[in-house]
Amino acid sequence: MLKKEIKKTSPEAQDNLTESNFAFGKLNYSLMLAGVVLLVLGYILMIGGGSKDPNVFSQEIFSFQRMTLAPILIIAGFVVEVFAIMWKVKD
């Protein structure tokens, strides 16, 4: 009977083996967090602008913040999220 040879690896090599099993690296998670922050900020900026009286129309819903800035932040957040997912981790 032949016995299989078991190779013992150093702790550093074991760390490299376990680290390479992850699909994303630190940069990916940082970019994902930045994308989520942009998305949340965009949605928060889009809140409000309504009138307290439902019979009165408020022009506040057409402000720069709600019509331009918030959608730009939301689109930027989605672009950052896609970039974070697609970024390849270098070994």
Count Cβ atoms below 10 Å from residue 45 Cβ, excluding itself.
Answer: 17
What are the boundaries of each domain within the chain? 25-86
Q: Which two tokens stand for residue 2?
A: 């032949």
Confidence at residue 30, expressed as pLDDT on a 0 to 100 scale: 95
**Rounded Cα–Cα distance for residues 64 and 29 (Å):** 31
Residue, of 5 and 84, whose pLDDT is higher: 84
Cα 22–chain centre separation: 17
Confidence at residue 16, expressed as pLDDT on a 0 to 100 scale: 55
Task: Judge whether residue 50 has pLDDT over 60.
Answer: yes
What average pLDDT is seen over the chain?
83
Contacts of 36 (CB under 8 A, 6+ apart): 77, 81
Confidence at residue 89, expressed as pLDDT on a 0 to 100 scale: 73
Model confidence at 4, in pLDDT bands (50, 70, 90)? low
